Chain A
């Protein structure tokens, strides 16, 4: 009870990531249209979502399973009194579920209709600033969840199609 409350700690994480991205701004490439992406890990590989869709990043917390929902919905979490669904992004992308670890995070993203939803990821990495030139179409995505790849530090980062991922059919 005496330590800093988790939400403050988490806000600080998020601030630090955003600031770090701002600092890198001039050092790295700044040709063409720049995108800011939040990168994270799933099964050892890097993925990313647009920063403007991210409301906050929080640590793992108690999850209440909801009966009668698809298995990708891990359950409901309470976020300062708000009740939001938690999507297991591993299951959603067909990567198989794992037990949460110390690095597990919940990325709270905005849905189209003024709501938020939690995405469970293995770990959060950093905020990337990338230009259009380094984005290329991804081919052969089974779930339709990834349409684009971008290269960053010699690595392919898969950009998640949030609107596709947040639509669960039955």
Chain B
């Protein structure tokens, strides 16, 4: 694995990431604004989607700038969002001078982006940005004249009240345009209403606009549901009923339209009539950043190809070795093995370059978490502060994506169940404000992400009682402290009897553990009464290409991911001790549970030697020793899922190809460790 890069480079990488993403947004805004300006100049109606898109762009830009701590950009985007929201909801008229400010803001953004990473240059913009923001705010304040044409509609007022501000605006807009407003009602089977409803909406969209879709009260059988669609169209009631090929739908008029006046405008005229906005200064068209955004699936494909090349390289090595072994072909063998060596070096280069591209800092996820913490703090009214460290730790993009949900769940649990209410904290002599620490760091080929809180700690007795009531353990079951704590990973278990809004969404720690194990990682829990709980996830840095230790039991070979191997020992049968039928090895004073792969997988092998190898494996803190006959060295492996009817065989993470057409099963260390430690007696 290539060494991780330094902090300063990560910082720059983050800036670059921001700039390239922001440029994309800005590019979209320029295009949308240009379209908007054209439509406005043509004197026609401005496409509401265009304003919505601009609004969303401004919103994304604001969120993005916030994530990267770029306040000036965030502020400006915020004010821009205000104007666009006004336009969107019809509070601000399209003819307002503030529309021109959108263009100015876009130019200012472009200038700001060029200065990202340079504090001084950014500071120089403070004044012009503030000035623009003030002008935007002032301009957005102008009130829109709101005529109350809605009262004249032949429609139930409860229905009108159910409209969102935006829907109401669209309704007003359509009334002003003189369109016919109608109410289309239809009843659907509950089981399939989404299909029917979207079919109906689609056919209406072909001939008009669906302003709002509302469930309608009324006499319907239990298995059915009725919807009313508020529709605007140039077609009259009769025409629309005719055109709408939907036998179950009933249509009634809410407001008669006024005949539309054809607006004819020659395109050549408007071109010369509308002033072309001139950029205040010449903008460079060249993109500033030198980064590209790539679909992660393309990287996967690339990774697969590299993986296959790596396997083929191994076959070339084999052939070279075979040629070298025979005197008559030794000369060719030497040449081939030279080529093999050079190929090897270059492939390693490609491999680490591709791996590097896939790496992203944990920061992105941590930012999401801190937003969640902020909103939970509000919702649960708990005073909690979040401390994050190791945000620059990098992980494979795919693992990061898969990690978001488990991490969120752990954090929600920590705030909801872990941190006590203020009174309880005070009574326990703790700081009133609870603290949640998230830490990420690299350990060997793994990244460890831990979430700690200083709450009440896990109540072992309550946990045990709950597990007992679920039939997971019996009253006589004797568990070690660790085994008791591990009960939180059992399906269906939640320590608080009432399911709360925050953490009780049908997923529990069992799902967290499953997700993490699916990534080849492990979850562990530590808890000290009244001091708090720590949940740690240990994850491989990448899933793409990994080194594996190839072991053999009789004629069977298996691959064990090297990141799960701590050491290998040659042991004599006489060194193996027994307790309650379990095999134990004295590993420098610690009792290490042993598990024979031959027994585990019921392989028929004849024991020939008294010597065996113990491969000490484990993720996180827990370790066991796997007994095997031979070690066959390390190889680069690409773990592939096994296709076919029998899914997810416990104990295996997939299979990999070694040399020519040889499939080798890859051992799933976390499930073996778990099975071994939970078994009371050896099989």
* Residues of chain A whose beta carbon lies under 8 Å from any beta carbon of chain B: 1, 61-70, 73, 75-78, 81-87, 111, 115-118, 166-168
- B214 interfacial contact with A, CB 8 Å: no
A81 & B645 in contact (Cβ 8 Å cutoff): no
Are B643 and A82 in contact (CB-based, < 8 A)? yes
Contact at A76–B319, with CB atoms within 8 Å?
Answer: no
Residue among A1, A68, A77 with the highest chain B CB neighbour number at 10 A: A68
Question: Could you tell me which residues of chain B, from 322 to 338, have a CB within 8 Å of some CB in chain A?
Answer: none
Contacting pair B308 A81 (CB below 8 A) = yes
What secondary structure prevails in chain B residues at the interface with A?
mixed
C-beta contact mask, B530-570 vs A, less than 8 Å → 1, else 0?
00000000000000000000000000100000000000000
Instruction: Looking at the assembled complex, report how far the CB atom of B636 sits from the nearest CB atom of chain A, in whole angstroms.
Output: 13
Residues on the B chain within 8 Å of A86, using CB: 644
User: Is B273 located at the chain interface by the 8 A CB criterion?
Assistant: no
Query: Given A67-B603, A81-B311, is A87 in contact with B663 using a C-beta cutoff of 8 Å?
Result: no
Of chain A, the residue at the smallest CB distance from B662 is A62
Contact A67-B601, Cβ < 8 Å, known A81-B640, A84-B643: yes
Does B657 have its Cβ within 8 Å of any Cβ on chain A?
A: yes
Q: Which residue of A lies closest to B666 (CB)?
A: A83
Q: What residues on B are CB-neighbors of A66 within 8 Å?
A: 642, 646, 649, 652, 665
Give 22 CB contacts A-B under 8 Å. Answer: A1-B319, A62-B663, A63-B663, A66-B646, A66-B652, A67-B600, A67-B601, A68-B601, A68-B602, A73-B644, A76-B642, A76-B663, A77-B663, A78-B655, A78-B661, A78-B662, A78-B663, A82-B643, A83-B657, A85-B643, A111-B645, A117-B644
When distances are taken between beta carbons in the complex, the residues of chain B under 8 Å from A166 are 645
Q: How far is the CA of A62 from the CA of B651 in the complex (A)?
A: 22
Q: Interface on B for A, CB 8 Å cutoff?
A: 304, 307-308, 311, 319, 556, 600-603, 638, 640-646, 649-652, 654-657, 661-665
Inter-subunit contact B657/A81 (CB<8 Å): yes
Docked complex Cα distance between A77 and B655 (Å): 9
The one of B308, B645, B665 in contact with A64, judged by C-beta atoms closer than 8 angstroms, is B665
Query: Cβ of A83: which chain B residues have Cβ within 8 Å of it?
Result: 640-643, 654-657, 663
A85 & B657 in contact (Cβ 8 Å cutoff): no
9 tightest A-B CB contacts, nearest first = A85-B644, A67-B601, A83-B655, A115-B643, A78-B663, A64-B663, A117-B644, A78-B657, A83-B640
Residue of B nearest to A118 (CB): B644
Residues on A with C-beta less than 8 A from B664 are 64
Name 10 extra pairs, CB < 8 A, besides A66-B646, A76-B642, A78-B661: A64-B663, A66-B649, A68-B601, A68-B649, A68-B650, A78-B662, A81-B307, A82-B640, A83-B655, A86-B644
B644 in contact with A111 (CB, 8 Å): yes
What separation, in Å, do the CA atoms of A78 and B556 have in the docked complex?
A: 16
A77 to B646, CA, bound (A): 14
Asked whether A64 and B662 contact (CB < 8 A) given A83-B655, A85-B646, the answer is: yes
Q: Which residues of A contact B649 (CB under 8 A)?
A: 66-69
Contact between B640 and A87, CB atoms less than 8 A apart: no
CB distance A117 to B643 under 8 Å?
yes
